[in-house]
Amino acid sequence: MSLMMRFFAALGENSAARDEIAPLLARVDEPLRQQASRLQTELDLSDGKPGTALADASQDASVKYLRARGILQQGQSVAAQQLLQAVKASAAGGERVQHAVILLQADILLQQRQFAEAHDQLIKFLDTTVTTDLWTEAFDLLDQAHLRLQEPRELPEAVLRWISSGNTPQQQPQPSLALIKATSELRGHALFIVAKWLVAEKRDIEAVSLLEALLQMAQDHPRRADAMRLAMELYAAQGAGERVLALAEAWRQLSGGASAMVDFTAGGMFFRRGDHRQAQRLFQNAANIATTLTDRRRALFNSAIAAVLAGDFTLYQSLLGHLEVVTSAAGDGQGADDNGATLELEKALFAAAKRQPEAELALRAFIRAHPDHPRFADASVTLAEWLLMAVPPRVHDARITLDATTAATTLSQSQMQRIDLTRLWLHDAEGDLKELLVQGAAFLKAWPKSTFVPEVRMKIAGAHYRLEDFASARTEFEIIARDYPETSNADTALYFAAMSASSVMSAEGRVRALATWEELAQKGGPLAVAARRQQALSERAQGRLNEALAALDKLLALKNLDVEQQRMTICEKAEVLLLLGKTDPARLDAAITLLDEFLAESSLPFFWKARAGFTLATARHDAKRDTEALEACYNVLRAAEITPPASPADYVWFAKTGFFGIDLLEAAHHWEAAARLAEQVAQRRGDREQEARERATKIRLEHFLWDGPAPTPPKVLKLKDEAEAKPDEPAESASKNIKKSMR
Amino acid sequence: MPKPRSLFFAILVLFPAASFSAGLDDASEFADARQALSDGLPGVAAVKAERLLNQKGWTSAETRRLATFAAEAWAREEQADRVLALAEAHELDDEVFCRAG
């Protein structure tokens, strides 16, 4: 009986344990009755009821220990610590109570945030104890203490030593079988805890090898199931599905054959990793072997959701049918409706997340059919978000949907928060940034503890930034970066805090912005490239060209720079070299060499050919190599014949280069060539087309070049009559061209 | 010392039209150079031809042809010193006449 009772208590099945205890409390056998009474006190404590423990005034060491736990639950850690110290000093109660006292003292230190002290105390305990029933608890506490130590944390030397040879008192020349077993158990605990710490450091491969070592050890190690579960998580993350399934099979054997729990857990792992098909198979397997209707329904439900996410709608329909049958068999008709509706909603939410066109209809169908469903608001808000993400945003429809949601149903706090957050997006889509600021502030006041607070603050900060209130934007972004350093918004907030600071146009702001960008660049996160580029732009804007050049060189040294970013950076570097070349001709040569190499790439898009070509022409001109400068311009115009400028940006560089070439030719008094080049520029559609045409006409008129295409006459000239009067006069070809042009 | 102007005309008149080699004709850069010349930009043509000339691997006939092309282009650009530099460095078609012109 006592064994069953302890078994249930260890499993956390407190009510079952209490049922076992109840008859023992009435027994005449005093030692057994006392033991049952203490176990009941322990159960009460684990249920958060310290009353029994506090009421027992016995001086027995184990009772004092339980009383200390009761006192601790009441928040009196000093008094609890004093009582424990007294028990420890008396050395009473046997080894188990003494060990429990040491661990409770370590727990108190953890609660007092004295992590290093707790860590040292636990290491000392584990390194000096040959064997104990409380190793699992001791290692759990050590895990908590270690993970709260200041980073960078080193793996404790003692724990690594335990892995290889056990702790200090276990080092004996001729160990007994019991000692060998104890050593093996300690080594297993050490392997498991170090594996967990390695996972925390994202050293998954090393962690897996330690877990595999543990799994090769004694089959009855108390951490075996935990090790299997962690190894499965890690293998699932690495995409090693085969090994996950093999471990699941081993776990099944460990738990005595087919186990719905194992398949359900493994299914959950695959589901979280996004392998919905494998997850669906495991959930379905769990449903097939589940021993209770509740487990079967739960597994079928998950299987149906996994089928939806895997895009297998035929299987989904089939599973939905099974689910209805199971729910009906359980005599819960309402449950069947709820399950069906929930799956219908999941399917619609999945379609919305994937931006599938049928999402809107599916969401509207759910909203129409299930106005009383507890997740009605989820559907409505998702529909509102869907409408706001439409191109162009359907703001009016979104507003109607949100208003109807607020009016139609009882909302949970989390749903109300989501609605308020969606309203901020709505104001954003309307361009009503001032209202967004007002509503954002109201949100923060109403829901200061909401998980959406970082997102709301980002919206507020973004609105300030777009309203060009850079001082407020900077403050908001800095608050986000400071208060939510672990969120995905933190780096973005830091980046825009720097953008805001640099826009304030104060010396302090610029210095702060540069320091922030440097910090982001050194972190190497997703914004490292953008931060380094802003650093270069800012230095350049301030005329600190050598610093800008250094930032661009650091940018080019980044390995994750994509092709377009690399091209832009090379062009920017050439431009900075060009500016430096005003005082140092060697920099001009460097710019020319850099651009020559850049333009040698045959697959360069027109935009880069034109931008780099223009910069090269300018550099060569500055280096007093005008013929070569003209060649660079000519190359751009030739490239435009093969791939004409297709975007406004293409055209800007095309026109700049073309006009620069015309200037060069005019400066060299090559009037005919200048006119022809201007005409070539005029052939391309764009906002400088007319300017180029007029330039060509002007050159031809000023220099009497009559052989070219029809020039555009100045509006003040009235040559029509003359031209018509002398249509065949050969010496007046310019007039003929004018006449043609006028026709 | 010949007058530059007379040199230009001599080259323009006597520029050869024979002995083309296939390798050079396959080079897109040479096609670009010739296009530049026909677009009325002899300086650009000359720069392109000289850049090609500086590349290795041409036969002596191709080198001669390129050098002559570049010289003609520089002559049209009225850059006598560049023509003479080419004449010093390479054999040109009708070189004797060029120098004499």
Q: Which of A430, A446, A478 is the last residue of a domain?
A: A430
CB-CB contact of B9 with B101 (8 Å): yes
Give the per-residue pLDDT at A426: 92
Q: In chain A, what residues touch B81 (CB-CB under 8 Å)?
A: none
> In the numeric block, which tokens belong to residue A392?
């162009």
Give how many domains chain A has, as a whole number.
2
Residue A663 resides in a domain:
yes
Q: What is the pTM of this model?
A: 0.54
CB-CB contact of A622 with A582 (8 Å): yes
Rounded CA separation A580/A582 (Å): 5
Rounded CA separation B27/B91 (Å): 21
Of residues B100 and A247, more confidence is placed in A247
Assign 3-state DSSP to chain B and report helix, strand, coil percentages, each to 5.
Answer: 70, 0, 30
Q: Per residue in A456-470, is it b (16+ CB within 10 Å) or e — as a string?
A: bbbbbbbbbbeeebb
Residue A681 resides in a domain:
yes
Question: Distance of CA A380 to CAs A358, A404, A424, Å?
Answer: 15, 8, 16
Exposure of A407 in the CB half-sphere (CA atoms within 13 A): 6
**Which residue, A631, A613, A618, is CA-closest to B36?**
A631
From A643's Cα to the closest Cα of chain B, the distance in A is 16
Rounded CA separation A416/A678 (Å): 64
3-state secondary structure A524-572: CCCCHHHHHHHHHHHHHHCCCHHHHHHHHHHHHHCCCCCHHHHHHHHHH
Please give the residue range of the domain that contains residue A655: 583-743
Of B35, B40, B48, the CB nearest to A631: B48
Of B32, B35, B47, the CB nearest to A627: B47
Q: Encode pLDDT of B18-57 as tens digits.
A: 334 457 877 888 999 999 998 889 999 999 999 999 887 8
Query: Is the alpha carbon torsion for A110, A112, A113, A119 positive or negative?
Result: negative
CB-CB contact of B16 with B91 (8 Å): no
Best of A596, A627, A628 to mutate (most B CBs within 10 Å, chain B): A627
Residue A325 resides in a domain:
no
Rounded CA separation A270/A232 (Å): 10
Cβ pair A672:B32 closer than 8 A: no
Q: Which of A430, A453, A475 is the last residue of a domain?
A: A430
Give the per-residue pLDDT at A716: 55
Give the per-residue pLDDT at A374: 82
ipTM of the complex: 0.76
Q: Per residue in B60-86, is it b (16+ CB within 10 Å) or e — as a string?
A: eebbbbbbbbbbbbbbbbebbebbbeb
Rounded CA separation B84/B43 (Å): 15
Q: Which of A408, A430, A452 is the last residue of a domain?
A: A430
Rounded CA separation A95/A424 (Å): 62
Q: Encode pLDDT of A47-59 as tens digits.
A: 888 888 888 878 8
Give the per-residue pLDDT at A126: 93
| Amino acid (1-letter code) at residue A43 | L
Rounded CA separation A728/B6 (Å): 36
CB-CB contact of A504 with A470 (8 Å): yes
Residue A539 resides in a domain:
no
Of A634, A670, A672, the CB nearest to B36: A634
Say which residues have a Cβ less than 8 Å from residue B54's Cβ, sequence separation at least 6. none
Cβ pair A634:B44 closer than 8 A: yes
Cβ pair B35:A630 closer than 8 A: no
Q: Can you list the residues of chain A whose pLDDT is less than 50? A: 1-5, 7, 717, 719-743
Say which residues have a Cβ less than 8 Å from residue A303's Cβ, sequence separation at least 6. A267, A280, A283, A284, A286, A287, A319
Best of B47, B50, B54 to mutate (most A CBs within 10 Å, chain A): B47
Residue A324 resides in a domain:
no
Rounded CA separation A467/A437 (Å): 10
Question: Distance of CA B51 to CAs A257, A588, B56, Å?
Answer: 79, 19, 11
Q: Encode pLDDT of A216-245 as tens digits.
A: 887 788 888 888 888 888 887 777 777 888
Q: In chain A, what residues touch B48 (CB-CB under 8 Å)?
A: 631
Residue A362 resides in a domain:
yes
Best of B30, B44, B81 to mutate (most A CBs within 10 Å, chain A): B44
Residue A84 resides in a domain:
no
Rounded CA separation A494/A473 (Å): 11
Residue A463 resides in a domain:
no
Query: Is the alpha carbon torsion for A27, A29, A34, A35 positive or negative?
Result: negative
Give the per-residue pLDDT at A730: 38
